[in-house]
């Protein structure tokens, strides 16, 4: 049963940073949509049919047509709903390229390092991941200084594409900070990113869709226990 031409539906999972990016974009643009929570152990027929290549959330279904992969979805939202809310990407081709460069950096370098820091089985791998994540954040601190030129967001006065790509990670970062008693965005060494995280998190459109940090901590504690059990039984 296909929806109406303008129907927007999001297949998601509450703790996914990739799904959060899409929710942030839809919220910032003020686009109404139906949200369907997926049980990733028992994926819906609609998810399997809509993303047959990866079988993964998020999937945005607009007028019956699916769009997959968070960065692809964000650009789709910007292009298909141009009239709604603020533009996510700048208009100038070079500024758009700079935004796409930093989105790719966050995806390929920062996320990879954060995952290694958080979910590796050995302490050595975690320490190395942590080192790389800190180096990536320092690079982003410099990028924020160069791109924003004194304005609060990568997008300037309002949150845009890069803010959303990075902002999707923010709930997980806050949960890790709470668990480990550390500050990922250290105000001493990364003052701009620390202020960015506070400013971004304080936006109404952002606060409205951020998952509960306490619930994320519970999930992460459970996942770490599973990894520890696996490591103990396979060594």
Catalog residues that contact its own copies under the rule CB under 8 A: 53, 62, 65, 67-69, 71-73, 75-76, 79-80, 93-94, 96-97, 100-101, 104-105, 139
Helix (H) or strand (E) holding 48: helix 45-50
Cα torsion 25, 182, 106, 130: sign? negative
182-187: list long-range contacts, CB under 8 Å, 24+ apart.
184/133, 184/137, 185/137
CB closer to its own copies out of 116 and 210 = 116
Name the β-bridge partners of 67. Answer: 60
- Shortest separation between residue 79's beta carbon and its own copies, angstroms: 4
Phi-psi map region of 26: left, alpha, beta (phi>0 left; psi -120 to 50 alpha): alpha
CB closer to its own copies out of 57 and 216 = 57
CB closer to its own copies out of 136 and 210 = 136
Q: How many helices (H) and strands (E) does the chain have?
A: 11, 4
CB closer to its own copies out of 14 and 33 = 33
CB closer to its own copies out of 60 and 206 = 60
């Amino acid at each position: 049963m296909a929806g109406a031409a303008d129907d927007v539906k999001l297949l998601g999972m509450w703790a996914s940073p990739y799904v959060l990016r899409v929710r942030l974009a839809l919220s910032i643009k003020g686009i109404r949509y139906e949200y369907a929570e997926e049980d990733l152990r028992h994926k819906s027929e609609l998810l399997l049919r809509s993303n047959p290549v990866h079988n993964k959330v998020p999937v945005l279904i607009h007028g019956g047509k699916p769009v997959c992969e968070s960065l692809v979805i964000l650009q789709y939202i910007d292009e298909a709903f141009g009239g709604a809310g603020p533009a996510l990407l700048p208009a100038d081709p070079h500024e758009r390229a700079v935004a796409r460069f930093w989105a790719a950096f966050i995806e390929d370098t920062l996320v990879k390092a954060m995952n290694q820091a958080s979910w590796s089985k050995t302490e050595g791998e975690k320490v190395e991941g942590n080192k790389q994540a800190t180096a990536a954040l320092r690079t982003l601190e410099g990028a924020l200084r160069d791109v924003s030129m004194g304005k609060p967001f990568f997008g300037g006065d309002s949150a845009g594409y890069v803010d959303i790509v990075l902002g999707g990670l923010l709930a997980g970062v806050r949960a890790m900070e709470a668990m480990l008693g550390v500050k990922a965005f250290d105000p001493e060494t990364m003052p701009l990113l620390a202020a960015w995280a506070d400013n971004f998190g304080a936006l109404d459109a952002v606060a409205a869709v951020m998952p509960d940090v306490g619930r994320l901590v519970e999930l992460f504690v459970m996942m770490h226990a599973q990894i520890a059990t696996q490591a103990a039984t396979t060594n």
